[in-house]
Amino acid sequence: MAKLTKVHCKNCNKIFHRQNGKFNEALKMGWNQFCSPKCQSKFKTRERKTLACENCGKKFIRTTHRVSPHNYCSQSCGAIVNNKNRPERNATKIKCSNCGKIFKKWLVGSNTKYCSMECFSEAKLYTKEKLLKIIQTTAKKLKRVPARREFRGGVDKACVRLFGSWNKAVSAAGFIPNRSHDNRMYERVISKAVDGHLCDSISELLIDNWLYKNKIEHEKDVQYPSTHHKADWQIISGDHKVFIEYFGLANDSPRYDRSIKEKKMLCKKQNISLIAIYPKDLYPKTYLDFNLKNKLKNYLSI
C-alpha cells in the first residue's frame, strides 16, 4: 500500500492525506497543493485586479495570474492596437488568379495570387495536355466515360478553367460526355398508363402498357422488404415474388449503378426473382414485344 503524507491545503488550510510520490513531486516543482479541485479553483480566482483597457480605457477585472504586459477588455480592442502597431497585418482584398474568388492577402509585398493551395496547384501543375491524359487514363481504368465528381485535387476545376466546361474537356479527350442532370431521368416526366398507373418516364409507360395489353397482373412501386427501395412492378406468379425493374440509367451514373447492385443483392437475399429491363430491350420499339416476352417466359405463360 502506498505511503501517505499529511498536507495543508493552500486555500482552506485543511489537513488531508496525499501519496508520498505526488507530495514529493509537488515540492520539487514548487506547486501548491489543494484538498480538492474546488479549493484549487477558489485559490486561483481569489486575487483579482481592476485594469484599464489600453485601447478604449474601459475598466475590467482580471485574475492576477492572467495579468500580462498589455491588457485589453476584448479581442477586438487587442486587434485594433496590434494592427496599428503592425500595419503589415492589415489585410488587402485581392482576386484569385485562378478561380476569381476575392480573398484577404495578409502579407504586404508577398507574391500571393491564389486563395488556396488547390488553386495554386491548378494554375501551376495542370496543362491542357496533362488534363486530357488524366481523363483518358481514368476512362481506360473505369471502362467508361468518367463523371466530373469522380476527380479530386482540382482536376475538374482546371478543366472548366482551361476548356470552358467539363463536357468540353471530355469531348477534347475523344469521348462522348455523359448526359447532364437536366437530361437524365431524374427530371421525371409523369405519364399515366392505360390501366391508370402513374409512370416516371415514357419508357416505364411503354412497359406498363405492354403488361396490361398482355393481361399480366401487376402492381406499381412495390416496397422492397426492410428497405427504402421500391420496385417498378411486381407481377403475380403463384406464391413466388417476381419484381420487374427498368434500369434506364445503367452505366450513366455511379450512384445509380450502386442502387442496381443493392437491389440485386436484396432480391437474392429475400429469394425474389428480379427481371431487369434496360433501354436496349425497349428500343427500337419493333423489338420491344419480343424482348419482354423472352424475359418473362420463365415466369408466365404468355
Residues 202-208 have a mean pLDDT of: 88
C-alpha–C-alpha distance, residues 228 and 1, integer Å: 61
Q: What is the structure's pLDDT at 149?
A: 76
DSSP for residue 298: T
- Using CA atoms, how far residue 250 sits from 36, 224, 254, 259, 276, in Å, is 67, 19, 9, 10, 11
Query: For residue 164, what is its C-alpha cell?
Result: 470552358
Query: For residue 71, what is its C-alpha cell?
Result: 491588457
Q: Which residue has the higher pLDDT, 299 or 221?
A: 221
- Average per-residue pLDDT for the chain: 81
Q: What is the pLDDT of residues 153-175, one digit of tens each?
A: 678 888 888 888 888 998 898 88
Across the strands, what pairs with 222?
231
Q: What is the structure's pLDDT at 244?
A: 92
Please work out, in degrees rounded to the nearest 5, the angle formed at the alpha carbon of residue 221 by the alpha carbons of 211 and 272: 80
pLDDT at 240 over 50: yes
3-class secondary structure, 24: helix
C-alpha–C-alpha distance, residues 230 and 227, integer Å: 8
